[in-house]
Amino acid sequence: MATENKNLSEYDKNTIPNAKDFRFGIVVSEWNETITEGLYNGAFEALIDNEVPAQQIIRWNVPGSFELIYGAKKMLQTQNVDAVIVIGCVIQGQTKHFDFVCEGVTQGIKDLNVQTDIPVIFCVLTDNNIQQSIDRSGGIHGNKGTEAAIAAIKMAYIRQQASMSHPFNQPLLSSGALQIEETPIKIEKE
């Protein structure tokens, strides 16, 4: 398992950009609600921990994971957010339904990232059983929602910096800001 040796809830605040001026959308699937609520709580708490005011976090619920795509699309179109986190949980059953839902949601969220300028962060658990989902939504492996919120902050920051007229360089400073290097513009005369 990818999370076997990693706690999903751990992050270094010194590497997180300042998020107090960003707006975040969170679209949450009501299917497997115990799990998705745990993921939402992890995401919400991480955003608050990184100084995002609660009124700058918008939550929408959708019936299931497949509906996350439409919910995220409408949020992108109407809510003036800097990033969207989609939260869902699909657990393997005895039919191929699991495969179709997982593939569809993955491709749909990928498409939104390609088609729009606002990052959509994938926080959909696709586990073999309920225990694996519990372990990743606040259990022994931490909380994937926390990890998604940190990714959303970093991606919102990258989007903001990319829209500026000058380049930025890694790594982050201790304040969480990226080091920006001024590049002189050459003007050639004819």
DSSP 36-49: HHHHHHHHHHHHHH
Nearest Cα to 32, choosing from 58, 73, 66? 66
Answer yes or no: is 102 a known binding residue.
no
- Beta-carbon count within 10 A of 79 CB: 14
Q: Pull the structure tokens for residue 63.
A: 């019936």
Q: Pull the structure tokens for residue 31.
A: 């299917």
Q: Is 17 helix (H, G, I), strand (E, B) or coil?
A: coil
Answer yes or no: is 59 a known binding residue.
no
The answer to whether residue 97 is catalytic is yes
Which of 6, 13, 97, 110 is catalytic? The answer is: 97
Answer yes or no: is 91 a known binding residue.
yes
Answer yes or no: is 22 a known binding residue.
no
Answer yes or no: is 137 a known binding residue.
no
Answer yes or no: is 28 a known binding residue.
no
How far apart, in whole angstroms, are the C-alpha atoms of residue 135 and residue 119? 26
Which residues sit opposite 143 in a β-bridge?
137
Residue 27, Cα to own-chain centre: how many angstroms?
10
DSSP 58-75: EEEEESSSTTHHHHHHHH
Burial 112-125 (b: 16+ CB within 10 A, else e): bbeeeebbbbbbbb
Answer yes or no: is 60 a known binding residue.
no
Answer yes or no: is 84 a known binding residue.
no
Q: Which residues are annotated as a binding site for 5-amino-6-(D-ribitylamino)uracil?
A: 31, 65-67, 89-91, 122
Q: Which residues are annotated as a binding site?
A: 31, 65-67, 89-91, 94-95, 122, 136
Which positions are catalytic? Answer: 97
Q: Which residues are annotated as a binding site for (2S)-2-hydroxy-3-oxobutyl phosphate?
A: 94-95, 136
